[in-house]
Amino acid sequence: MERTLGLSRSIIQQESGVLVSQEMNLSIQDTFSEPNIRSVFKGDHGGIGFSVVNVLVTRFIDSFAFSNKMSASQIEMLTVDCLENFSYESLQDIILFFKMARSGKFGSTHRSPDNNLIFGEWFPKYLEEKAMIREQNYDRQKNEHNKKQVSIEDVKKTYAEIEEKNLHQKRLNYIEKITQDMDRQILEDTITDWEKDEKRKPYVKYLKEKRKKV
């Protein structure tokens, strides 16, 4: 909010290059991280909001070469309409919208822009483009999340396989140790005993593997 208020004051004071720099570097993507108009220009900051948008509106209207310009009262009404329509968007949205409209991104006009053209035709197109980019962001984040989940599962699976392999080897080593002095008959008797013991029964297969080598 403080950054937006600082930018607003700079625009109102017409500090050299500030607005031009914003126009050159802004993209719709940048606006998603900015606070909306209604949260910034409230209470004591309401006057700043009106003043900065009035500067932007006046500059926008003056950029058209039509002879019939808006009167001061019409500029004032357009400023109020702008604050209302962009209440859930950011100051950067207004700057970018006016730049895009001025550049013909929403279509050309053969008359001086008025409230109906600006908010009836151009503004919905801007919101539609912004919504499309927001959806693309959501899809990209969803895909990244899914990839991350797959990656985590792969790590877990690999770790489990390593653990199982290590455990298998430990069991083989243990069987090798306890059977190293057994002859085939003692080994057979041990297999028979373990098959009757519920706790040792799962490990009989290791004894049978050893039997192949005796």
Query: Is residue 128 predicted with pLDDT exceeding 90?
Result: yes
Show the DSSP H helices in 63-122 as ranges.
72-85, 91-102, 115-117
| Residue, of 35 and 152, whose pLDDT is higher | 35
Query: Is residue 201 predicted with pLDDT exceeding 90?
Result: no
Choose the most confident range, by mean pLDDT, from 22-26, 70-74, 91-95: 91-95
Average pLDDT over residues 149-178: 80
Query: Is residue 159 predicted with pLDDT exceeding 90?
Result: no
Output the pTM of the full model. 0.67
What is the predicted pLDDT for the residue at 142? 87
CB 113 within 8 A of CB 59: no
Query: Is residue 111 predicted with pLDDT exceeding 80?
Result: no
Name the band, by pLDDT with cuts 50, 70 and 90, for residue 96. very high
What is the predicted pLDDT for the residue at 31? 94
> Whole-angstrom Cα distance, residue 213 to residue 184?
9
Read off the pLDDT of residues 1-59 as tens digits, 9 standing for 90 and up: 899 999 999 999 988 789 999 999 999 999 999 999 999 999 999 999 999 999 999 99
**Could you tell me which residues come within 8 angstroms of residue 45 by beta carbon, excluding any fewer than 6 positions away?**
5
Average pLDDT over residues 206-214: 77
Query: Is residue 116 predicted with pLDDT exceeding 80?
Result: yes
Six-digit token string for 210: 């050893």
Query: Is residue 150 predicted with pLDDT exceeding 80?
Result: no
Alpha carbon separation from 96 to 68, 76, 127, 177 (Å, rounded) = 25, 20, 12, 77
> Whole-angstrom Cα distance, residue 77 to residue 82?
9
Alpha carbon separation from 5 to 26, 82, 184 (Å, rounded) = 17, 17, 89
What is the predicted pLDDT for the residue at 55? 96
> Whole-angstrom Cα distance, residue 160 to residue 157?
5
